[in-house]
Structure formats: structure tokens, C-alpha cells
A = this chain, B = another copy of it.
Amino acid sequence: MNDLADRVMGGELRALSRLLSLLERGEPAAAPAMERLDPQTGRAYTVGITGPPGVGKSTLVDRLTEHLRQLGLSVGILAVDPTSPFTGGALLGDRIRMQRHYLDAGVFIRSVATRGQSGGLPRIVKSMVRLLDAAGKDVVLVETVGVGQTELGIMGVADTVIVTMMPESGDAIQTLKAGVMEIADLYVINKADRDGANRMAAAVTAMLHMSDRSDGWNPPVLLTQAHANAGIAELWDSVGQHRSFLNDTGGLERRRLERRRQEFLESVQEEIYRRITRRLAADARLNQLLADIDGKQAEPYAAALGLLADEGLELLGGPAAL
């Protein structure tokens, strides 16, 4: 696996893809390579782009990528698809317009299916960001669909969070209510040629004046027309201003430490859960407990507490088996 890490550091795309796949499938085999790559991380700047469906996030990412390439920066893109847990395939229609970047060695694009994950942005996205960082990308863009709760996860992944909206969606205020105001470092009103863009910008600005960010940053509200390439350079300039602010205030270091700790805690949780569910198929006592839950001889919440209290973790295999 150290070989894999070396190949990633050497710029081999196939090794990078392979390691991303190991992370995506939750394979512990990824750990040694991640361990070796870790000292190489901390150079890339990570930008999250979130917002409801249909506001033009993919076009925005496409144009931002073009702009970054013109600036001579290499780009890693993680497009997180809220894939159905049933069909299993990432729906990549939106990505087609990104095709031209596939021919550019300075751009690495990966769609991440989050099927089976219980919502939010899964731990693997944090690991994948660090991996693209170690692979030498200057900027990592993470695109996620989100409304309310889902969006909060992006804060745990990105240095700068861009929340994207559009006029006429009629739900600007509702979207803002749903916790978004706490996570947005920049607001983008895309499709700004449509009616109501200025009105929406004014409404967002007004709401910002009523709220207080504990870190002292005043999120700008920007107008873009991604399809016409308008406002993209200004958007990147604003990201740079936020980056400077974070650097000056120590906020970048704080965000990144918090992110590493969260990745650790989420990995512990995820791994314990993975082992429990794997053992369920094999352990007769756990199967009996599930049968009791089915038949109402056991209540789900009390049974969970009882499992941890009475039988201890032996049922889960004990320290050795775990």
C-alpha cells in the first residue's frame, strides 16, 4: 500500500483512482496509504459549492475550473451524488458538460456516490479531500446538492463554503432559514439575468445584517451567470479574500484541525457500525435479539442499551475480534 501512496505522490492517476475507490468502498486497506500520504497534506485549498438542485452548481464548478486553469492552478473536483441506495449508480447527466476537462491533466474529476450513507456528507469525502490534497492539487472543489441539514456537512469538508441560489426559486428565504446562514462564507445568486436577482440579493443581505457571525466574517453576496461566464473571476477573488481572512485570524488552522478530529471520530463510529452489521449475519445471539425485536419481545432502543450494558462488547466480538 505504501507503493500505492508513492505512486499517488508520483502523479500516477491510476493509483489515485484506485485509492479513491478503496476509500469509497470503506476498505481498511486504504489506511496505510493514507497514513503515508498524510504528511503531504495541507497545501490544497478546499472550496465547497452547495445549494438546491437546478441552480447551476455544475456549470459554476465548470467555469470556476476553467478560471483556475487559466491562473495555472491544478484542480481536483469531487462531485458528491446523492445516489439512490437502490440503483447504486451515480447519475452523471450534469457532468457531461465537464467532459472537456477530462482531457486536461491539470484537472481530476471524481463522482462520489454516497449510497447507503445515512445522509449528510460521509466521512469518506473528508478522506478523499485529503487524498487529492496529497496528490498535489492546488484547489479541491467539492460540489454537493443540499437543502438544510444536508448542507451542514459541507462545512466539515471545505475551507470556504459557497451557497448557491437562483432567482425565481421562490424558496430563498426558506432555504436560508434552514440553517444555511450559519455555514455560508459566500452567497452566489446564479442565473442573475433572471427577474428578481437584485431583489433576492437585497433580501439575503438584509438577513445577513440581522445575523451575527461569531468569527467576524461578513459573507459577500455575489451575482453570477455561470453559463455566460459572468462573475466567475469576481467569485474567485472573494474566495481569496475569505482565505486571507481565515489565514489572518487563525480560522483556517482551527477549521482544519476540527476537520481532522471529526474524520477520526466518524471513522471510529463507521468502523464499529460496519463490524456490528457484519457480525449480525454470523452471531446466533444477535440474531435471536433481532428476532425478539421483530416479535416485540424486545424494544429496539432498550435492546440496544441492554446489548451494550449486559453482554458488553463480547457480543460484538470483543477487543481482539474487533
Once the chains are docked, how many angstroms separate the CA of A269 from the CA of B168?
42
Interface-centre pick from A123, A149, A179, A273 (highest chain B CB count, 10 A): A149
The reply to whether the CB of A202 lies closer than 8 angstroms to some CB of chain B is no
Q: Which residues of B contact A114 (CB under 8 A)?
A: 149
Complex CA gap A149/B119 in Å reads 6
Given contacts A118-B153, A277-B265, contact A305 B28 (CB under 8 A): yes
Closest-by-CB residue of B relative to A37 is B299
Interface size class of A (residues with CB under 8 A): 35 or more
Contact call B322/A318, Cβ cutoff below 8 A: no
Is A269 within 8 A of B269, CB to CB? yes
Q: Which of B39, B269, B293 contacts A261 (CB 8 A)?
A: B293
B53 & A263 in contact (Cβ 8 Å cutoff): no
Q: Which of A79-87, A216-224, A233-241 contacts B (4 or more CB under 8 A)?
A: A79-87
Q: Are B302 and A35 in contact (CB under 8 A)?
A: yes
Q: Are A34 and B302 in contact (CB under 8 A)?
A: yes
Nearest residue (CB) in B for A256 is: B294
Confirm or deny: A301 has a beta carbon within 8 angstroms of a beta carbon on chain B: yes
Q: What is the count of identical protomers in the complex? A: 2
Q: Write the nearest CB–CB distance from A198 to chain B, whole angstroms.
A: 20
A120 at interface, CB cutoff 8 A = yes
Partner pick for A118 among B118, B169, B296, CB 8 A cutoff = B118
CB neighbours (8 Å) of A149 from chain B are 82, 114, 117, 119-120, 145, 150
Contacting chain B: which of A61-69, A101-109, A170-178, A242-250? A170-178
From B91, B299, B303, B312, A177 is in contact (CB under 8 Å) with B91
A239 to B275, CA, bound (A): 38
Measured between beta carbons, the chain B residues less than 8 angstroms from A273 are 265, 268-269
| Residue among A276, A300, A303, A322 having the largest count of chain B Cβ atoms under 10 Å | A300
Cβ-defined contact, B86 with A182, below 8 A = yes
Task: Give the residues in chain B near A24, CB-CB below 8 Å.
Answer: none
With an 8 A cutoff between CB atoms, is A152 at the interface?
Answer: yes
Q: Which positions in A face B, CB cutoff 8 Å?
A: 28, 30-32, 34-35, 38-39, 41, 52-54, 82-87, 91, 93, 114, 117-121, 123, 126-127, 145-150, 152-153, 168-171, 174-175, 177-179, 181-182, 257, 260-261, 263-269, 271-273, 275-277, 289-290, 293-294, 296, 299-305, 307-309, 311-314, 318-320, 322
Identify 26 residue pairs between A and B in the complex whose beta-carbon atoms are under 8 Å apart, listed by A's number: A38-B299, A39-B296, A52-B147, A52-B171, A53-B147, A54-B169, A82-B178, A84-B152, A84-B182, A114-B149, A117-B149, A119-B149, A127-B300, A145-B147, A148-B150, A150-B150, A168-B170, A257-B294, A260-B300, A267-B300, A268-B276, A268-B304, A271-B308, A272-B308, A313-B318, A313-B322
